[in-house]
Amino acid sequence: MTAGLALIGAALALVPSAQAEDGYDLWLRHAPLEGEALERLRIFAPRVEVELYRGDETPTLAIAARELDLGLAKLGGGTVASASGAGSAIALECGSDPAGAGEYTVRSNAKGIAIGGPGQLSCLYGAYALLRELSQGADPRSLDIVSAPAMPLRMLNHWDNPDGHVERGYSGRSIFDWWHLPERLDQRMIDYARANASIGINAVAVNNVNATAYVLEPRYIEKLARLADAWRPYGIRVFLSARFSAPRELGGLETADPLDPAVRAWWADKADEIYAAIPDFGGFLVKANSEGQPGPQDYGRTHAEGANMLAEALRERGTVIWRAFVYSEHDETDRAKQAYAEFIPLDGAFADNVIVQVKNGPIDFQPREPFHPMFGAMPDTRLMLEAQITKEYLGFASHLAYLAPMWEEVLDADTGHGATVAQVVAPVGMAGVANTGSDRNWSGSDFDQANWYAFGRLAWDPSLSSEQIAREWAAQTFSRDPAFVDAVVPMMLASRQAVVDYMTPLGLAHLMGTGHHYGPAPWVCELERPEWNPCYYHRADADGIGFDRTPSGSDALSQYAPSVAAHWSDPEAIDPAYLLWFHRVGWNHPMRSGRSLWAELVARYDSGVGEVDRMAQTWRGLAHYVDPQRHRAVSANLAIQQSEARWWRDGSLSYWQSVNGLELPAGTRPAAESLDHYRSLSFPEAPGN
């Protein structure tokens, strides 16, 4: 059968003048082509139509056709009727294999372009890939793309609460309108699914891991089913964060012990109820025995016993994703060691449909951490990488911090167990803590959209470079002009290191304010739980600074493979980026630069501030390429970042000086305010608190 698309002919409309944009269209703007790229599209497609082969048109194929219709019309400058006649065809030649992972081919041929693959999602993903290439000015006559996802599960974890508040959310309220579901499905839910499908994301956990039990009630299952129905054609399966104590809170049982027969029966019945409404329900995401959340350890059971009980309830239909983010105030060891200590003895004990989800580093989404030692150390357990797209510790939505280089560092890291982190998680997948919200531009700032995009692209293909992804995103989101892309991409690539330098240089970590994690607070030392205090992590005094994780200290280094530990064991030879993470050294410790540690620390803070100034200057020079509305918005955020980078730098250096009694190196700018001023600042109303 044939479904007609836009007819793009010799009378293509002229490219309209730039108009104000609000960022809602993300990277799916498909801005009109110009010059040679537009002419190539004219030559290739005086008339374009999509032919659907192999069976009837399915909802997924219809969406693929509609996306091509919309995208080609926009790229051509508008939908234009033309005379009938021979023309190039875009043929959707995809099979009906329901198990197809979405692998696709996009190839030019004598008739036009063929998009193929084993399943219907192949055509959808291939359609987005074609538009991505054309949006960057590719020649439609010379395409030859073969692509398959490296990871089966490419997932967003929302920390959204049913009342609309988003924990660690910096872009407005939750996008999920639970109150009006299932009767009313907001168009934003469809646009969200489009964005996810365009970058290969195929699973979404819709609620906070600090879960409420009532999301398992029938009224919420009905709401979730409406979402599942809407997202299914886009290849997205829904997951729920489940509260472990739900059998007590909802079922009236006296216990939630995972070995209790009544508890097991309650979960089995609940799973059956969900699958009756949502046959392709993905499964449960669980945060247990961490930060006060209930779990199997409340009953003397292990993580494996808790996860396996839920896995038994789901049977072969779905998956339990069990988070390895655990730490306890009752454990006096190094917080960085606790997850490894709890989970490594359980290797091989988890059911086949259980995934253990491990954060990129052993603490908590810090600006820079070494990779988590669990990767590679559990060969008989399915491990999944958890990254944070929302920038809880990297400046919220106001600081420009492109995170692909951070994730690339982790994915490329050699675990010392015969595989990189990417190879360890490839059989399972990646999860990203979402940064979407009700703000019109979805993510609070235009550049934070790049992190959503980069997460999806890396989960599909972790061999992609941060630079390649940045170039794709910048060309599609702002301007494909080479002068713009060549200027903005280096700015993006340098941004995360800038944040590291003005916040937590040389391996420092967790220096943020209490609760809201906003702004510097290395002076906080008196909170009830030691691991909540920045002083716990930096351990600075008159003699030195840093956390000793060698055998003479907490010995967290021993959790890594010997070949990896050897690289980090010598404070003279270690990469300076991890020095103070693994070593406590004196303020006069000699650095590779020839400076003392103190002078190097000051230089790093100044480097971070200086890089933000350069970013702002670069952006000012790009106004010609970007619509005024978004250019002003980014400029305003960069001005905030310039101010707050100085706040981080000045507040931190003031505190270190109060501890070490050292003068700033000659020629160094002093802090703008006193230490007392910085200590007096409080932000209980900070976003995401």
Residue type, 79: T
Q: How far apart are CA 524 and CA 518, in angstroms?
A: 13
**Residue of 67, 342, 392, 448 with catalytic role:** 392
Query: How far lies 403's CA from each of 86, 100, 443, in Å?
Result: 46, 30, 14
Query: How far lies 168's CA from each of 307, 515, 518, 651, 657, in Å?
Result: 26, 10, 11, 23, 32
Instruction: List the Cα angle 411/537/413 in 5-degree steps.
Output: 15
Residue type, 600: E
DSSP per-residue string spanning 576-611: GGGHHHH--EETT-B-TTSSBHHHHHHHHHHHHHHH
Tell me the chain's radius of gyration from C-alpha atoms. Answer: 26
Q: Give the length of the chain.
A: 689
**Residue of 97, 163, 291, 412 with catalytic role:** 291
Instruction: List the Cα angle 524/526/529 in 5-degree steps.
Output: 105
291 belongs to the catalytic site: yes
SS3 state of residue 483: helix
Q: How far apart are CA 48 and CA 88, in angstroms?
A: 6
Instruction: List the Cα angle 303/308/313 in 5-degree steps.
Output: 140
- The distance of Cα 667 from the centroid of its chain, to the nearest Å, equals 40
Question: Which residue from 268, 359, 343 is spatially nearest to 305, judged by alpha carbons?
Answer: 343
- Tell me which residue has tokens 């039990």: 213
**Residue of 21, 67, 342, 364 with catalytic role:** 364
What does DSSP assign to residue 232? G
Give 22's Cβ-side CA count (13 Å radius): 6
Question: Which residue from 597, 421, 611, 585 is spatially nearest to 503, judged by alpha carbons?
Answer: 611
Q: 37 — alpha (psi -120 to 50), left (phi > 0) or beta? A: alpha
Q: How far apart are CA 480 and CA 628, in angstroms?
A: 17
Q: How far apart are CA 524 and CA 516, in angstroms?
A: 13
CB-based contact 120:100 (threshold 8 Å): yes
Active site residues: 291, 364, 392
